[in-house]
Structure 1
């Protein structure tokens, strides 16, 4: 199994350019670096879109594709307002602090950057009693968040052509597994558009899990992915 820190993130240098195509090319460079002719790709959230993009660009190098807690190929407007409402409900009493930190933007300390990330990531867990604990673990060790990278790639994804992406997905012959957490605050109907168009797809929804289903239902996640890859 191989895992890498994407360009501008984690232990990688904060150096662009940042784009979807550049990220796909970086992923293919990792594959070629390890001398792998074909790989089974697993991507989570934005990583699911990245893995899909790589499979569309290099279908011959992908044997299986696992898309975890991603979104679909329809416009964000079809699901994002409901996600935003759910986000603020999940924040609850932490919303005021989140808004205070968010408003300071470039005037935050490193510790405050981490606090903002922990608050934001905590909403992704269905178990509210352990949400902060899980988010703290995600932020340890702390490498920071690359706001420029997030904003640039996010804007590009929002401007993409859903029609063209739908046509390319309909022609993809790579077997695909979609894994959802039933209680992900991103409406799961957001990925319905992708499921409908892929010709070789199966889908597993894990009850009681949020946006990071391997954390809240590790056995269910392991079973679904393991059976698919086998």
Structure 2
């Protein structure tokens, strides 16, 4: 697991916990859920030459607080960046963490050097693929989570994707984004293709033969992806 931990005080006084490992360019790793502890905080997943940061979301794990909105989650990321003394960082998000990374980049482009969005949900609530999703549902991993935080962030996500300026903000975003689909993900990749086609500096790719949680099933593939993304940033 990650070898060190820090506590940063958010602007409203809430104590936020962030684990870290490695040295080099700063990379903020946002795990999915939402409302799960940061399951990416394992130094075996990260290549040499990277200083990776793994925050537990507000109200989850070792971070204080409780249910909150995506806007608060974004503000927490900025408070972490300032509190850690980081000028700017690459932001990698997995699943729901990818959606948060995209919003963070749109709202704070000076703080984000690049986004690596892996197996994201996409900015939609389309359920036409619901039957296929449930038929192929992958086994759930045993990861600590908070149901109230999960519910609040999901509701806030729906509010965000209904905002009238959402797509204008994406089209105007100058942050480079590498949007990555897991080839065997039970979710469709068309929302990720749409996202990559909207953001001017975004690219799309799909990694064949890996499921949604390939950080767990194919750690070598995950590590190689991060190394490649950080090298070509």
RMSD of Structure 2 on Structure 1 (CA):
1.9
Unpaired segments ≥5 residues, structure 1: 92-122, 124-130
Deviations 1:6-60 (A, max 9, x none): 01122223x3350011000111111111100010111111111111111111101
TM-score by length of 2: 0.70
Residues 59-208 of structure 1: matches in 2 within 5 Å?
Answer: 59-73=109-123, 75-77=124-126, 80-82=127-129, 84-90=130-136, 123=138, 131=139, 135=141, 138-139=142-143, 143=144, 145-160=145-160, 161=162, 163-208=164-209
Q: Is the 8 A contact 1:180 1:213 kept in 2?
A: no
**As a proportion of its length, which structure holds more helix?**
1
Q: Is the 8 A contact 1:180 1:205 kept in 2?
A: yes
CA distance in 2, matches of 1:85, 1:187: 12
Unpaired segments ≥5 residues, structure 2: 1-51
**Counterpart of 2:22?**
none
C-alpha deviation, 1:2, in angstroms: 0.7
> May I ask how many residue pairs the two structures share in their alignment?
179
**Counterpart of 1:127?**
none
Q: Is the 8 A contact 1:204 1:224 kept in 2?
A: no
Deviations 1:134-176 (A, max 9, x none): x2xx43xxx3x31111111111212332652111111111111
**Counterpart of 2:37?**
none
From the superposition, tell whether residues 146 and 210 of structure 1 become closer, same or farther in structure 2 (CA, over 3 Å).
same
From the superposition, tell whether residues 149 and 17 of structure 1 become closer, same or farther in structure 2 (CA, over 3 Å).
closer
